[in-house]
Amino acid sequence: MSDQKPSRHICLTNRHALSISEDPEGDILSALADPDVLTMVRGLSEQEARSPFPDGLFGMDGRRTDAAIRRMKSAGLISSRRDGPDHVYFLNEGRIRYLITFLEGLIRA
């Protein structure tokens, strides 16, 4: 067992049952309408991000980064894994694929 303390981060681990939104497509599209969320999506599509990030990520300050991560979390767009005292953040590929399937369905309609 490691005695390393976890770094300060927005924890994406939820030990409670996940709540399923009545409008998952709306949640995703609403989150992506936020310019900071879109900046995070673009950045995370290129590289994972390791906590902590007090100076922010992808040209945003820490406050904007944290707010974008929270919006992404509520829409299910971001995931994380523990790596020592840090968390590594990355895009939730399943959720992105879900959005792609939804949008492709609109084209066929």
With 0-12 / 13-18 / 19 or more C-beta atoms within 10 angstroms meaning exposed / middle / buried, residue 79 is buried
pLDDT tens for the chain, 109 residues: list them: 445 555 555 555 444 445 557 889 999 999 999 999 999 999 999 999 999 888 999 999 999 999 999 999 999 999 999 999 999 999 999 999 999 999 999 997 5
Give, in words, the CATH class of 24-108: mainly alpha
Alpha-carbon distances of 84 from 21, 54, 102, rounded to whole Å: 32, 18, 37
**What are 73-94's pLDDT values in tens digits?**
999 999 999 999 999 999 999 9
CB within 8 Å of 39: residues ≥ 6 apart: 58, 59, 60, 68
What residues does 71 pair with on adjacent strands? none
pTM equals 0.79
The edge-to-edge listing of strands for the beta sheet with 86-91 is 49-50, 86-91, 78-83
Tokens in use for 37? 């969320």
